Chain A
């Protein structure tokens, strides 16, 4: 097996492990899935609205996001996907894509044919349960974002997004202490949370001057987790992680 494929399975196993504890046999059967590995550029679509995919993608490294374009070219981002995530697993059962999945930065992905995922999940009911559970958690994340956009202030929304990303990175051991990779541009944050870039800029300045977070190049460091959680009204329950990492 190539080292890229090995990494892909390790990342997938790490992610699924946050959801359910898989047996060695289950992990072995996952590792028998055929993969096509591709390195994608930043801002490249992986799958588009209207497509009828016959494969789903696994993020090996990098950052992907789901989004939709509405009138006048405005973009709404629904979710971010880090290493180990399978952002278009829904295409296994919902044939026609109702949104786009794209890369935010250079991203390495593995494509897995639907056919092989179906065979695997037919043989391994706990793997099927893990993927189902992942889909339910996905829905829980959307609910939380909906509450944010409808009823939370800009400060709370942005702090909440940071808490969510930190918790998800930490759950798959991709944090470096209190730091996580930081690739979101202010326009991305604005398009995720229904805010203007001007407002995003102001809130980020406030989070920095209040010494809740520090941003250094491509790293975001949480300086005061308990205060940030309080500002964010963040309760990680909706992520339904098996072992809370944060």
Chain B
């Protein structure tokens, strides 16, 4: 069983600069970005900007309505690994 932990981070270069690093135990597995109002209907969603490791490769750009939802999705994928 791996335990996810999150660390807030500023993401450079975009208006949507609020992000979270997601670790599974000690390993970085994903970078999440909170979409700003520039994203219209998607504003406020959390986007998987980058994902690492075999169970998260090619996540097909899923977006989530909340940070909790994104983390639960990542957790399910990680635990299947």
| B61 sits at the interface (CB 8 A) | yes
B22 on interface, CB distance cutoff 8 Å: no
- Which residues of A have CB within 8 Å of B39? 198, 201
The answer to whether the Cβ of B12 comes within 8 Å of any Cβ in the partner chain is no
Q: Chain B 12-50 against A: per-residue CB contact (8 Å), 1 yes, 0 no?
A: 001100000000000000000101001110100001000
Q: B81 CB to closest chain A CB, in angstroms? A: 20
Do most interface residues of chain B lie in helix, strand or loop, or is the interface mixed?
Answer: mixed
Q: How far is the CA of A201 from the CA of B63 in the complex (A)?
A: 14
Contact B63 A198 (CB under 8 A): yes
| With A198-B39, A202-B14, A205-B38: A72-B60 Cβ-Cβ less than 8 Å | yes
User: What's the dominant secondary structure at chain A's contact region?
Assistant: helix
Closest chain A residue to B47 by CB distance?
A198
B38's nearest neighbour on chain A, judged by CB, is A205
Q: Does A151 contact B (CB under 8 A)?
A: no
B60:A198 contact, CB within 8 angstroms = no
- Chain A residue nearest to B61 in the complex (CB): A196
Evaluate contact between A197 and B61: CB separation under 8 angstroms: yes
* A contact residues, range: under 10
Interface residues on B, range: 10 to 19
Closest to B35 in A: A198
Chain A, range 71-110, C-beta contacts under 8 Å to B? 72, 74
On chain A, the residues within 8 Å of B40 by CB distance are 201
A74/B38 in contact, CB under 8 A: no
Closest A-chain residue to B63, C-beta based?
A198
**Complex alpha-carbon distance, A242 and B63, angstroms:** 45
Check B14–A74 contact: CB distance below 8 A. no
Q: Are B60 and A201 in contact (CB under 8 A)?
A: no
In the assembled complex, which residues on chain B have CB atoms less than 8 Å from the CB atom of A201?
38-40, 42
Report A50-88 CB contacts with B as 1/0, cut-off 8 Å. Answer: 000000000000000000000010100000000000000
Complex interface: chain A residues within 8 A of B15 (CB):
205
Cα–Cα, bound, A198→B41 (Å): 11
Check B14–A197 contact: CB distance below 8 A.
no
- Kindly state the separation between the CA atoms of A201 and B35 in the bound complex, as whole angstroms: 11
Closest residue of chain B to A198 (Cβ to Cβ) is B47
Q: Shortest distance in angstroms between A1's beta carbon and chain B's nearest beta carbon?
A: 45
Interface centre among A72, A74, A201, A205 (most CB of B within 10 A): A201
Contact residues in A for B42 (Cβ distance below 8 Å) = 197-198, 201
Among residues of A, the one whose C-beta sits closest to the C-beta of B15 is: A205
Which chain A residues border B61 with CB–CB below 8 Å?
196-198
- Once bound together, how far apart are the Cα atoms of A197 and B43, in whole Å? 12
Query: Please, which residues of chain B bring their CB within 8 A of the CB of A205?
Result: 15, 38
Chain B residues proximal to chain A, CB less than 8 Å: 14-15, 33, 35, 38-40, 42, 47, 60-61, 63
**Chain A contact residues, CB within 8 Å of chain B:** 72, 74, 196-198, 201-202, 205
9 contacts between A and B (CB under 8 A): A74-B60, A196-B47, A198-B35, A198-B47, A198-B61, A201-B38, A201-B40, A202-B14, A205-B38
